[in-house]
Structure 1
Amino acid sequence: MAHALQSERSRRRVNAYRRALYHGAPLYHSVAEIIGDVADDDSVHVIRPNVIAERARTFVAGSPGEVLFAVKANPHPAVLQTIWEAGVRGFDVASMGEIELVHSLFPTARMCFMHPIKSRQSIRRAYALGVRDYAFDHIDELTKIVEETGGAKDLGLFLRLSPRSSGAAYALAGKFGATVMEAQLLMEKARPLCDRLGLTFHVGSQCMIPEDYASAIAIAAELISVTGVKVDMLDVGGGYPVTYPGMTPPPLQDYFDAIEAAVKKEGLTHLSLALEPGRALVADGGATLARIEMRRDQMLYLNDGVYGSLFDAGTPRWRFSTRLWRDGKLVEGDEEAFGFFGPTCDSIDRMEGPFMLPANAQEGDWVEVIGLGAYGLTMTTQFNGFHQGPIVALIDNL
């Protein structure tokens, strides 16, 4: 029975997979083409490589330090290949799955294992695959790294700090990061055990205040001064924001300028500097096409939701730009505010919005949710058997 269902699913998608491929993803040149090929119950995940490449090139050109792409933001091979071709040579990885994926695609890439808590097995395997840089924020984690790499003399160890942050949409404090008092002892413990010692932090996701980076850099500088411990590296983490409806951050250059100015002010220009963009490189380069299955007043029942690529629209209730498609054509007209329900039988599968769409939205139309290139595809589950739709590449002019 399962084999028969899988065969039927494959048959329904055969047209798409007869198309040219972009690093494994069927290649299209318009949304209309994609919708014309869809014959399935699930939504469609759309990757826009030209947009991702442009964002990555911009970041690499302006960054004051080495760029380490945060793989968690979007690990699809087509996305990683695009970023690599745009000049990114380093990756922030958090699991063996991410490490093995990056290694299989780019054996020479630099990988930094920046998850502060890792299993012993993953440390051993990562070291065998050439990973030399590891984050920690606790003495037990430091001990694990040293033991599972056999006391290696070529380690780079990043002590993760817990900075104060006021401008992040997602605050990341509380789970990871050493306090100032803890950090002083950990720096002294780690220095004799590694070839290179670094400090790192994360000011929070979708950070809207560039000065938060400067504040965290000042904390790192004070630690170096107080302890007198030799430090070689500084990783200022991720959090670089993108524009969503209701969230308009300062220009990316303001973040680069704030980081560079703080490094100079604090006398840390001799340290190797790294940044970990995720969302900033890929958010604008992805979208989801979700079909309306029913309309109930101003609520639209879609075939995607919070258990799929719309997690950020449901849980933190972020708004996203949307467009409406009918019979392969863009629908225009007076817009109204809508909310969405996802396809599962769970009542929390709800996205309040408001999402602005033409007032005549109806069953069978397709809603294009724009800006889901980061943490859209990554967060997708198969709860209730949904969210198994195709992933396609789109080269167009938007």
Structure 2
Amino acid sequence: MHNHLDAPAVVRALAPDEPVILNRPHAAARAARFFATRFPGKSLYAVKANPSPDLLKVLWSAGITHYDVASIAEVRLVRATLPEATLCFMHPVKTASAIAEAYKVHGVRTFSLDTHEELAKIVAATSDAEGNAARDLRLCVRLRVSSEFSELSLASKFGIDLADAAPLLQATRQVADWLGVCFHVGSQAMTPFAYVQALDRARAAIAEASVVVDMVDVGGGFPSVYPGMEPPPLEDYFSIIHRHFESLPIAYNAELWCEPGRALCAEYNSLIVKVERRRGNELYINDGAYGALYDAAHVAWRFPVRCLDEDRTGALEDFAFYGPTCDDADYMEGPFLLPADIAAGDFIEIGMLGAYGAAMRTAFNGFGQGGAVIVTDEPMASLYTGRKDPRVSDNVVSLR
């Protein structure tokens, strides 16, 4: 993979007709070191956010040793890429064959669940040929919690309701060598209070079940920086999570886990696209809803942008994008702030696409191709360097 200074240098060297992903290994390594050294527990990378083998190696080298895998394909990928990594199969609905392969072939011992049926499936799939149940299972019961403080909800699909949790926790404790409680507050949680509410729900579930809990996993949701979304410092999240974890009715040596995805990889990638046509304040570009800009189209996510043509000096205006496919839905409303005189043939860098960017690419309509290069400049926004502290409180006081 070729190295360049920054996006303008890539355009000068390649004048690309296809979209180009820019990798920033130093940014991902910085994020990984931050979580590995400052989160008061164990950090598992949520592989679905960006499964790039190059990224996985960067995170491993920077101290991330545990990985949240959600499919047998992710299990195989991470095991092949990082043979010594600890894998945790945290999807609550898995096939029996995936569970069996993960346990018997790839050494996975940690599984999540949210129903009695999934518990029975895990026990059966991990039993030996004589039908003897595994004695080394580390099982995590996923609770349903609110996503009201997050930009993208994850409250409807997975998780057992609090009213039903006690019997499942008790049944899981009977077969698990090690019992955990996990949840997910939703993607891009904009206040640490999201975790306070979820941990209060975990407290109630544990107390009602009267079981010994060996681990609490606060899941993902840790934010990154995007236009119009300036979260508090991550240290505020860590401090409040730790304080509430310490007061839970759990084993004295219980572990605290988290599963960052976006926060570890958002700054790893940006994207160079080319303007193929301008129609008023609509720009036709060569990536879109079926490529790395899935979130820009489907959930109207805004990303930082800049025009890479130094001759464009017009005042910034709001633009929308159309992607390259024939689908009318290949549309990104934005708004994206770009020079008023931007024109066909210009190049744009779109930042903060390391999370759910390249991972979402398809080959629909013959598009979705394009290479990747390494750049050494800083990402267009960062939670980890050169950022003004907004001190957004939401009734939460910073402990720094």
Alignment of 1:342-381 (within 5 A): 342-381=323-362
Q: 2: CA distance between counterparts of 1:330 and 1:47?
A: 26
- Please, which of 196, 209, 233 is the counterpart of residue 214 of structure 1? 196
Residues 351-380 of structure 1, C-alpha deviations (whole Å, 9 max, x = no match): 111101111111111110011110000111
SS of the counterpart of 1:219? helix
- Please, which of 55, 58, 75 is the counterpart of residue 99 of structure 1? 75
Unmatched segments (≥5 aa) in structure 2 = 128-132, 380-400
- Please, which of 41, 47, 58 is the counterpart of residue 71 of structure 1? 47
Report if aligned partners of 1:162, 1:173 keep a CA contact under 8 Å in 2. yes
Report if aligned partners of 2:111, 2:138 keep a CA contact under 8 Å in 1. yes
Indicate the residue corresponding to 2:108 in structure 1: 131
Q: 2: CA distance between counterparts of 1:331 and 1:59?
A: 39
Q: 2: CA distance between counterparts of 1:107 and 1:305?
A: 35
Indicate the residue corresponding to 1:8 in structure 2: none
Q: CA RMSD in A?
A: 1.5
Indicate the residue corresponding to 2:276 in structure 1: 293
| Paired residue type of 2:180 | G
Report if aligned partners of 2:7, 2:349 keep a CA contact under 8 Å in 1. no
With structure 2 as the length reference, what TM-score do the two structures score? 0.90
Q: For residues 295 and 92 of structure 1, do their structure 2 counterparts lie closer, same or farther at Cα, with a shift above 3 Å needed?
A: same
Matched, 1:191 2:170: no
- Please, which of 25, 37, 60 is the counterpart of residue 49 of structure 1? 25
Report if aligned partners of 1:204, 1:238 keep a CA contact under 8 Å in 2. yes
Alignment of 1:109-120 (within 5 A): 109-120=85-96
Indicate the residue corresponding to 1:339 in structure 2: 320
Q: For residues 36 and 194 of structure 1, do their structure 2 counterparts lie closer, same or farther at Cα, with a shift above 3 Å needed?
A: same
Q: 2: CA distance between counterparts of 1:374 and 1:290?
A: 17
Report if aligned partners of 1:323, 1:330 keep a CA contact under 8 Å in 2. no
Residues 307-358 of structure 1, C-alpha deviations (whole Å, 9 max, x = no match): 11111111111111101113xx584442111110000000010011110111
Matched, 1:246 2:233: no
Indicate the residue corresponding to 2:144 in structure 1: 162
SS of the counterpart of 1:281? helix
Residues 251-289 of structure 1, C-alpha deviations (whole Å, 9 max, x = no match): 111110110111123344631111100000111221111
Deviation at residue 391 of structure 1 after TM alignment: 2.0
Q: 1: CA distance between counterparts of 2:12 and 2:19?
A: 13
Q: 2: CA distance between counterparts of 1:299 and 1:147?
A: 55
| Paired residue type of 2:227 | P
Unmatched segments (≥5 aa) in structure 1 = 1-20
Q: 2: CA distance between counterparts of 1:56 and 1:286?
A: 15
Residues 61-83 of structure 1, C-alpha deviations (whole Å, 9 max, x = no match): 21011010000111111111111
SS of the counterpart of 1:289? strand
Alignment of 1:221-240 (within 5 A): 221-240=203-222
Q: For residues 77 and 27 of structure 1, do their structure 2 counterparts lie closer, same or farther at Cα, with a shift above 3 Å needed?
A: farther
- Please, which of 58, 83, 103 is the counterpart of residue 82 of structure 1? 58
SS of the counterpart of 1:102? helix
Q: 2: CA distance between counterparts of 1:171 and 1:134?
A: 23
Indicate the residue corresponding to 1:323 in structure 2: 306
Deviation at residue 146 of structure 1 after TM alignment: 0.6
Q: For residues 248 and 195 of structure 1, do their structure 2 counterparts lie closer, same or farther at Cα, with a shift above 3 Å needed?
A: same
Q: 1: CA distance between counterparts of 2:293 and 2:287?
A: 7
Indicate the residue corresponding to 2:121 in structure 1: 144
Deviation at residue 42 of structure 1 after TM alignment: 2.3
Report if aligned partners of 2:27, 2:378 keep a CA contact under 8 Å in 1. no
Residues 51-105 of structure 1, C-alpha deviations (whole Å, 9 max, x = no match): 1111111122210110100001111111111111111101000011111111112
Give the 4+ runs in structure 1 shifted more than 6 A.
none
SS of the counterpart of 2:232? coil
Q: 2: CA distance between counterparts of 1:299 and 1:83?
A: 38
| Paired residue type of 2:83 | P
Q: For residues 147 and 332 of structure 1, do their structure 2 counterparts lie closer, same or farther at Cα, with a shift above 3 Å needed?
A: farther
Indicate the residue corresponding to 2:385 in structure 1: none
SS of the counterpart of 1:348? coil
How high is the sequence identity, in percent, across the aligned residues? 44
Matched, 1:386 2:367: yes
Q: For residues 130 and 330 of structure 1, do their structure 2 counterparts lie closer, same or farther at Cα, with a shift above 3 Å needed?
A: farther
Report if aligned partners of 1:113, 1:131 keep a CA contact under 8 Å in 2. yes
Q: How many residues align?
A: 372
